[in-house]
Amino acid sequence: MMTGPVVAQGQGSSPTRTSPGRLADPVSPTLIVTFGDRPDRGEVTRRLTGLGPVEDVVPEIGIWQVRPPVPGTARSRALARSGVIRAEWSMVRTTSDLPAPGKPAPVLPPGAVASPTDPFYADPAAQWSMHQGTWSPSLTANPAPTIAILDSGLDTTHEEFRQPGLIVSPYSAITRRAAAPDVSATGHGTHVAGVAAAPANGIGIVGVSPATSTSARIMPVQISNAAGESHDSEMMQGIRWAVNRGAKVINISSGGPGYQQAFQDTVNWAYRRGALIVASVGNEGLDENEVNFPAGYDHVIGVAAQCDDTVTSDCPRAYGRARFSNYNYSVDVLAPGVDILSTVPTRVHTREVLPGYAYKEGTSMAAPYVTGTVALIMASHPGASPAQVTEILQSTASRGARGLARTSTDGWGVVDPAAAAQAPTPADDLAEPNDDVKYLPAKQAIRLSGRERRVVRATADFNNDQFDTYGLVMTKGQRVRVTISAPRGRFDLGVFRPGSRSISPRVVTRSQLNRQLVATVRRTTPGTRATVVTAPTSGRFFISVVALQGGGPYTLSVQRL
């Protein structure tokens, strides 16, 4: 199931999908501090006094950062401060495009101007990614949401992006200014933005969800430097900026090993507000094949790179997965990522076709193709939740559409823009994100009277949504039967005591989980399993459903005895 390295952060009974990381900056590290409450800036400064300058990250969920001048004991000192529940070093992430291969850029023959009239689109050899699949101009008829590109910035002087109204709310999480010029030496952010949303304006190329002044507008958020490096804290600040200003799909073509619970909390915060994050899985498929984050987080769409029809050492099979592309549980879908023509600043000449246009390849280029597809899904399914959009994207991909199980190599397969945009809207998983106790609203719970039976239908996925949590109110001595049924996959179920702050094996140890556990199923699904719970006390208990392998739909039934 999982071919990449997997390291459990906690000692719980169920496998988790995390991997170790490295210190963000050994000279001047940034410490991400999470509070159990929601203190304002003045209170945070008071609580963390003496640890260094304080800045907000996602204060809506109690996440701040501090830059300690002496990092040695800063983490332990921060953990001892009032209200602090977690302190984690911010880690470095890098962009996921490949260095230019040692072959000349292909000569582009002149082509007939088609609709769209953008000349590179008119030549299938140039923008092969827009012709080999099912993309068509008709998919762009409905207004698409704002697309946030969290990257090195965007060259807004480029001829593709000069039209007024295409760019909204630019921001740099590095300088904290409302401007996001492309600082990358390779023009990475401008290239990524072009793949997702270059306008159909008769110039250059066309993006998957072409930007206009009223549709698929681009929100450039600078999170990485000239070398393509960014810190978790900057990514998290960028996510916050994008969500608070209305972006519904967020592209992050960057990543690195190392799980951060504060980052997962930020992803869940964005997801609850209707925003879906798409990320590149990385280009270490021929080396470490590590799980990279943010692609490895729950509720993030991880994208691997698909080849074109040219057979090379990196692409032994036409339109298959590129060998450099990582293959592990973080892969959700494949998208074009080899020989991708897109926009770059005119100062960039590597693999240049014309000034301002160049080829790149890597999972960095595959991710924005999916980001554009997500925007098309949202355009044709107004009001769809991130859970529904994810289900549409995966179920219409090449493997999902054929009823095949996902794989760590290809995920659900190659994205299919037309099928996704035209798919019926699936049932919503209204509880998401409900990964742990803290994500549940304070009063949300199943309450039973008489012999009442409550049924919940939901989905869980080992790769992208491993944990589901539900509240259950019981009085001391009350007996209930909790039943889980699933046609496929392996699911575990447990019932935990009131007062549990967390029931996630990523957060608490096995012994802590066992002390909180009241009942569990004896065998996992597929099939139907049940356990009877006698409440040892009164309060809100917690039912945990964990996808141990695979995943899919399940039915949870709770009946009073």
Catalytic center residues: 151, 188, 364
Q: Tell me if 498 sits within 8 A of 465, measured CB to CB.
A: no
DSSP letter (8 states) at residue 13: S
The alpha carbon of residue 320 and the mean position of all alpha carbons in its chain are separated, in whole angstroms, by 23
Q: Tell me if 258 sits within 8 A of 19, measured CB to CB.
A: yes
> Which of 479, 518, 476, 480 has the alpha carbon at shortest distance from 497?
518
278 strand-pairing partners: 251, 301
The dihedrals phi and psi of 167, each to the nearest 5 degrees, come to -105, 130
Q: Tell me if 314 sits within 8 A of 390, measured CB to CB.
A: no
> Which of 306, 298, 310 has the alpha carbon at shortest distance from 260?
298
87 strand-pairing partners: 33
Distance of alpha carbon 81 from alpha carbon 84, whole angstroms: 6
Q: 430 by DSSP, 3-state: which?
A: coil
Q: In the chain, how many H helices and how many E strands? A: 11, 26
Beta strands in 167-326 (DSSP E): 171-172, 218-222, 229-231, 249-252, 254-255, 276-280, 300-306
Three-state SS annotation for 105-133: CCCCCCCCCCCCCCHHHHCCCCCHHHCCC
Distance of alpha carbon 140 from alpha carbon 208, whole angstroms: 9
Q: Tell me if 270 sits within 8 A of 92, measured CB to CB.
A: no
Q: What is the greatest pairwise CA distance in the chain?
A: 79
147 strand-pairing partners: 218, 249
The alpha carbon of residue 303 and the mean position of all alpha carbons in its chain are separated, in whole angstroms, by 10
DSSP letter (8 states) at residue 499: T
Tokens (6 digits) for 438: 């803290």
Q: 363 by DSSP, 3-state: which?
A: helix
Q: 386 by DSSP, 3-state: which?
A: helix
- State the DSSP string of 148-193: EEEES---TTSTTS-STTSB---EETTTTBS------TT-HHHHHH
The alpha carbon of residue 350 and the mean position of all alpha carbons in its chain are separated, in whole angstroms, by 30
Q: 529 by DSSP, 3-state: which?
A: strand
